[in-house]
Amino acid sequence: MTIECTIVPVTPYQQNCSVIKCQATGRAAIVDPGGDVERIMETVQNMDATVEKIILTHAHMDHCAASDVLRQQLEIPLEGPHRGDSFWLEKLPEWCKMSGFPHADAFEPDRWLEQGDTVMVGEVELQVIHCPGHTPGHVVFVYQDQRVAWVGDVLFQGSIGRTDFPKGNHDELISSIRDKLFPLGDDITFIPGHGPTSTFGQERQTNPFVADTRYG
């Protein structure tokens, strides 16, 4: 099965929300809608897609603040992240207020995700990998057939996610990247939560935080 993916930068943080469309069915998922609902829905319309669910990599406000609004507006389920991020969702209004972010109500997903789960988008099956470190409940979505992954704020081109937030853990983050993501293959292109895409192979060679030359 083939997918079409459009990246939609949202919020002042320029977070990479994605719309993933199954070409065979026209059905789609919105990944990490942190805000700018109208821009997201314009993209959905331009792709001629029918959104069937929302999926979240983690519960930071710039990735999830518009999720519940879209869930109610479109009457669709919301899946992810892992339950380890429940405290972020419970305190979402507080985090938004502290950061000068538009208000968002606390919410729970319809389905918490676990390591080894799968998420269906039309007829496409995404693999779920639990990758704690940036947040304890962070997950990554992988579509093996097209060798692409949505990694949220775990890994960036030339950098890695912050771990100075509540319950962040640097050692866990490094382990998530090197022990769970890199073994999937150098040829996998990843869409990070911010900034340009890259490949696991490029980051293994050049990323100063997780390169093979640093860890051997």
* Region 75-82 average pLDDT: 98
Alpha-carbon gap, residue 58 to 38, rounded angstroms? 22
Q: What is the pLDDT of residue 141?
A: 99
Q: Which DSSP state fits 184? A: G
| 216 belongs to a structural domain | no
Q: What is the pLDDT of residue 21?
A: 98
What's the pLDDT tens digit per position in 125-178?
Answer: 999 999 999 999 999 999 999 999 999 999 999 999 999 999 999 999 999 999
Query: Helix, strand, coil proportions of the chain in percent (round to 5)?
Result: 30, 30, 40
Number of domain units in the chain: 1
Torsion over CA of 78, 44, 4 and 177, rounded to 10 degrees?
Answer: -40
Confidence of residue 44 (pLDDT cuts 50, 70, 90): very high
* Region 108-117 average pLDDT: 98
* Region 13-33 average pLDDT: 98
Q: What is the pLDDT of residue 110?
A: 98
* Region 110-136 average pLDDT: 98
Torsion over CA of 110, 125, 189 and 216, rounded to 10 degrees?
Answer: 90
* Region 96-114 average pLDDT: 96
Averaged pLDDT of the chain: 97
Q: Which domain holds residue 31?
A: 3-211
Alpha-carbon gap, residue 72 to 78, rounded angstroms? 10
Helix (H, G, I), strand (E, B) or coil at 165: coil
Q: What is the pLDDT of residue 63?
A: 98
Residue 216 pLDDT exceeds 90: no
* Region 78-103 average pLDDT: 96
The amino acid occupying position 14 is: Q
Q: Which CATH number does the domain housing residue 28 bear?
A: 3.60.15.10
Q: What is the pLDDT of residue 1?
A: 86
Pairwise pLDDT comparison (1 vs 62), residue with the higher score:
62
| 72 belongs to a structural domain | yes
Helix (H, G, I), strand (E, B) or coil at 206: helix
What predicted TM-score, i.e. pTM, was given to this entire model? 0.98
